[in-house]
Each structure stands twice: as C-alpha cells, then as structure tokens.
Amino acid sequence: MSFSCSEDDGPKTGGENYVAKGEYIITATPKESEGVADYVLNVETLMEGKTTLLGNGIEQDGTYRYYITNNNKFFSLLYGQGDPGAVNNYQLESDMSLTKSPSLPSETVQTFTNVNDDVLMARVSRSSDNPSAEWYSLNTNTFTFDAEGQINTAELAPEGEQAFFTWMTQVGDKVYAPFMSMKACCNDAWGTEYPDQAWVAVYSYPSMSLEKVIEDDRTSFLGRYFNSGLEVTDNGEVYGFSSSVATLNDEFTSSKPSAITKINPSTMEFDESYFFNLEEASNGYYIASQHYASNGKFVVMMRSKEDKGAYSSGNKLAVVDVYAKSFTWITGLPNANEISSITSTNYTSEDGSTVHVGVNTESGNYVYNINIANASANRGLKVEAGNITAISKLSPVEE
C-alpha cells in the first residue's frame, strides 16, 4: 500500500460519503506500514462521514509524534528515542488547506505543556550520573526558543533517588510539575523505595525558579510517564490523578488506590479534606489518563487492575465529576477487549458538552462523540487506512 503526501490529491467528497476539508485536525498512523510517522488531515466534521489517509493529508517525518495546540497553531513534536527531536507547526488557511512550517530542531522531550502563548518543554534525564531536567520555552508567536534552563532533579526527590517529571501544568502564573521518584540505577532504573507518596514541584514562570515541593501520602505519584496527572478546572481548582503504578524490581508496590486528590492553589498545599477513591467508585479499575470537559467533569480512560501496566492505556471510559465525586461508565463504546488504542490528545467542544475521542479497533477506526451530560457516546467520523492518534481544531488564519 502506498501513501501520498500531496494535499492536492484529496479524497472524493461526493457519494462515497467522504467529508470535505475543514477546521478539525486528525492525525493518524498508516495501518499497513511500520516505522512511519502520522499523517495530518483536516476535516469539516467529526460527527459523521469518513476520511482516508490514501492520497490525503500531510505526511510527517520521524516515527513518533506528539501534539499540542496553542495560539491557533497545531504543534507536532518528534520524539527521537534518544536522538534529537524537532517541532513543526501547522496553520489552517482561509481555503481550508493546511500549511506546515519548516522543522525547528529541538531536544527530544518527555513533557510539554501550554503556559500562556508558550509551549514549555522538558527533557528529563534517567541517569543517576546526571540527575537533571533541561527545560525550553517555545514562543508560539515567533516559533523560536526564548528561554531555557536546567533543574537538579536529585534535589527534589527523597535522598538516594531523583525526580522524573510526569508532566507540567500551568496554574495561574506558576507551573506545577508532578514527579515520580526513581532510583535510576541498580538494574531497576524506574523502581522506587517510596511508592506511597505524591510530589509536586511548584515553579515561578518564566524564570522556572523553584518555589516549593508539596507532597501527599494518600496516593502514589500523580500522572505516569508521558501522561499528565494534574488538571485545572474552570473555577481554578487543581486536581491530581494517581494511577498507583509505582514499582520496585518490576513489581507493583504501592498500597494506595488509584484516586483523585485536590490542591489549593492559594496555599499551594494538598487539601486534606478531599479524596476520591476511583478504584472503589469503578469497582476495581485504575485511571490511565483523563481529558477535561467542563464544570468539573472529565472523561477518564480506565483499565482493570487485573490488567495493570505502568504504560498501558485505558480501554474503558467513564465520566467523572470531581466536584460531586461521581463516576459514570460511558455507554455506546466498543467493548474494552475490542479496543486496540484510544487517543491521548482529544478535543472538547467550545461549549464543553462533548468530548471527541479517537477509538481504534480491528473492525474500524472512528471518532466517538461523548455527550458529557448523559455519559453516552455516538460513533462519528470514520478514518480509513490509519489508526487515529490525535484530534484538535484550528480556525482559519485571517488574511
């Protein structure tokens, strides 16, 4: 099977129900090829119809790509697996064509987040000989790195271990960086002697000066490798999500449940009065990742504890209301055992009522449109010849 990167050879938009180009961004990996990068497509709707990678979209270079949208630009970050990375940005023109910037060389990074009009990125060392995290601030207006610095991660973690940031999140004018503690040595580089502890380093921005490290012993660390564990809701409240996947010698060792905690941004401390046990609410599942909708409600990607993995993605979805501490399984999705993957980069409608998630199965790859109010999903756009990896939206650039 061959693929074309030409935008001029787009799919038909007639009787075969292919949708026209539009504001929604879809990335997908070719199904019949290995070791190739995603294609970037744009479509007018996520609710129905179909699109295809065949003769359509923009082919990217490199194998692993990750995505973030800021300042009406869609950024694609190359994960170089130890080699240097790169950043591209895409913009939507008034004729609904996508334009791609020249690649901006960068380091391969493990965290990236929006801070105002910047994309803050960090490359985190896993070596006990060099316990550090290098951070870079990408200005989305100029598409240049405006600032960079280094963080000593051994100074954040308990003695004898070092911090590995799971993600970073803007909270007001600060950056909160949850981290796991790891030995980074001794044939058990990801293991920790502290499986029942959560930490968050708080930094001022843009200097990235450390203000404090806050901790909590009611859960294991927040987030997971390459997965955000901290979210800010509409009212400015901050919630932490723990999967409870800490290990020692490749065995899960945390005695704490997968749960949600809360941080008070005014005091920069965990709220001891708030605790939401997700394992209990879900009858034996743990959270793998989450996506914010609105009004304290999240779509959470869950997985059975019997099928726990430190890097496994969720295959059963629910709506969680962190304000009300309610948990509702989502109906209308394929069975968990039929799902091969679910997108980690998803899109919430402007009114917060619908979350659009890519669900890949052997029988087909579709965008599922999740109604947050009644926790139900409807199958929408079909993506042919590729596994969906991200969903976003851009507005056309004004001429």
Question: In this structure, what CATH number is given to the domain that contains residue 182?
Answer: 2.120.10
Q: Is residue 203 situated within a structural domain? A: yes
Q: What is the mean pLDDT of residues 159-185?
A: 94
Helix H or strand E encompassing 278: helix 278-282
Q: Is residue 78 situated within a structural domain? A: yes
Q: Encoding tokens for residue 219? A: 């859960």
Q: Is residue 333 situated within a structural domain? A: no
pLDDT score at 257: 97
C-alpha 229, offset from chain centre: 10
* Confidence class for position 5, pLDDT limits 50, 70, 90: very low
pLDDT score at 398: 79
Check pLDDT > 80 for residue 4: no
Count of CA atoms in the C-beta half-sphere (13 A) of 207: 5
Contact 133, 168 (CB under 8 A): no
Q: Is residue 324 situated within a structural domain? A: no
Check pLDDT > 70 for residue 33: no
Q: Is residue 315 situated within a structural domain? A: no
Count of CA atoms in the C-beta half-sphere (13 A) of 158: 13
% residues pLDDT > 90 (the chain): 79
Check pLDDT > 60 for residue 1: no
Q: How many whole angstroms separate alpha carbon 146 and alpha carbon 366? A: 39
**pLDDT for 194-235, tens place per residue?**
999 999 999 999 999 999 999 999 999 999 998 899 999 999
**pLDDT for 101-127, tens place per residue?**
989 999 889 999 999 999 999 999 988
Q: How many whole angstroms separate alpha carbon 394 and alpha carbon 399? A: 15
Instruction: Look up the domain containing 117 and give its range.
Output: 7-270+343-393
State the residue for tokens 């930094």: 203
**pLDDT for 322-349, tens place per residue?**
999 999 999 999 999 999 999 999 999 9
* pLDDT higher at 184 or 225: 225
* pLDDT higher at 162 or 127: 162
pLDDT score at 163: 96
Q: What is the mean pLDDT of residues 179-193?
A: 87
Name the amino acid, one letter, at 169: T
In terms of C-beta density within 10 A (0-12 exposed, 13-18 middle, 19 or more buried), how is residue 14 classed? exposed
pLDDT score at 38: 87
Contact 152, 135 (CB under 8 A): no
* pLDDT higher at 348 or 65: 348
* Confidence class for position 82, pLDDT limits 50, 70, 90: low
Q: Is residue 230 situated within a structural domain? A: yes
Q: Give a three-class secondary structure readout of 122-160.
A: EEECCCCCCCEEEEEEEECCCCEEEEEEEEEHHHCCCCC
C-alpha 351, offset from chain centre: 21
**pLDDT for 358-374, tens place per residue?**
999 999 999 999 999 99
Q: Is residue 13 situated within a structural domain? A: yes
pLDDT score at 81: 63
| Total Cβ atoms within 10 A of residue 372 | 22
* Confidence class for position 6, pLDDT limits 50, 70, 90: very low
Check pLDDT > 70 for residue 188: yes
Q: Is residue 227 situated within a structural domain? A: yes
Spatial CB neighbours of 226, under 8 Å, sequence gap ≥ 6:
66, 110, 111, 166, 167
**pLDDT for 290-321, tens place per residue?**
999 999 999 999 999 988 888 888 899 999 99
Q: Encoding tokens for residue 154? A: 């051994």
* Confidence class for position 9, pLDDT limits 50, 70, 90: very low
State the residue for tokens 């909590």: 216
Average pLDDT, the chain: 91
pTM greater than 0.85: yes
* Confidence class for position 192, pLDDT limits 50, 70, 90: very high
* pLDDT higher at 85 or 12: 85
What is the total count of domains within the chain?
1
Could you tell me which residues are beta bridge partners of residue 107?
none
